[in-house]
Amino acid sequence: MLLLDTCTLIWLASEPSKLSAAARSALESANDIALSDVSVWEICLKWQASKIGLPAPPRTWIGEQVRTWSLDRLPIEPEHMYRAVELGDLHRDPFDRLLVAQALDHSATLVTPDPAIAQYPVAVIW
């Protein structure tokens, strides 16, 4: 399973040229791509704070992306929250720490350009 970082979803949908060649190739050939509830929450909060612009409200835009890219939903479970706080302090962003915890729990590969995430024992493509 490939797990999208929040920025990866945004770039996939709006600025695919920002994706690396490896990320594009992996996404084009993948049968199982997941969008975490973590990213849904992060997008909603950033949109509300006017930190990101979307062509439609998050409820609509995210739903469109899920359908367009055939994304599977990855819910946030208590285990992910526990694991996120147990991770080493390599990354301070709580959203990214939750994504790492989910990737570890589901043996997923994170599609992310974030070098801090790559410091964890998690598979990363970029």
Provide the residue range defining the domain that includes 52.
2-125
Q: What is the CATH classification number for the domain harbouring 23?
A: 3.40.50.1010
- Model pTM score: 0.94
Segment (H or E) for 85: helix 78-86
- How many domains in the chain? 1
Tens-of-pLDDT digits for all 126 residues of the chain? 999 999 999 999 999 999 999 999 999 999 999 999 999 999 999 999 999 999 999 999 999 999 999 999 999 999 999 999 999 778 789 999 999 999 999 999 999 999 999 999 999 999
